[in-house]
Amino acid sequence: MARSILIVDDHCAFRRAVRAILESDGYEVVGEAADGRTGLRAAMTLQPNVVLLDVRLPDMDGFAFALQLAQDGPGPQVIVTSSSEDPLYPARAARSGARGFLAKHDVCGAELDRILA
């Protein structure tokens, strides 16, 4: 069974590439957003199982986004991603209510499955 996923990242090329990868790995990409405000609305409207979330968005910090989703009650599982592998990101992701952190160059269905298991 495919899991539904929302991709929130300000880089169009990344969203397009990850969409192709995840769809080929059995995920259903139900939407994309280029900023936090649009991403939060999309998460509420589309109700994906998972949100793949960039740390740096033009209008808000990805960790603040994840915290907002967690405070709003049961919702999608969040995986925070970044091209920077800051050693503090996994702990920050956990504190924000996210399920985990994944470097952008490692994004694929198998890695998402590993984090979500």
Give tens-digit pLDDT for 50-71. Answer: 999 999 999 999 999 999 998 8
Confidence of residue 79 (pLDDT cuts 50, 70, 90): very high
Q: What is the mean pLDDT of residues 2-10?
A: 92
pLDDT score at 1: 44
* CB-based contact 72:27 (threshold 8 Å): no
DSSP labels, 50-62: EEEEESB-SSSBH
Residue 2 has pLDDT above 70, yes or no: no
pTM of the entire predicted model: 0.94
Q: What is the mean pLDDT of residues 36-42?
A: 96
Residue 105 has pLDDT above 70, yes or no: yes
Q: What are the Cα distances from residue 87, in Å, to 55, 101, 103, 110, 113?
A: 13, 10, 11, 22, 22
DSSP 3-state percent helix, strand, coil across the chain (nearest 5): 45, 25, 30
Domains of the chain: 4-116 (3.40.50.2300)
Q: Bridge partners of 54?
A: 81
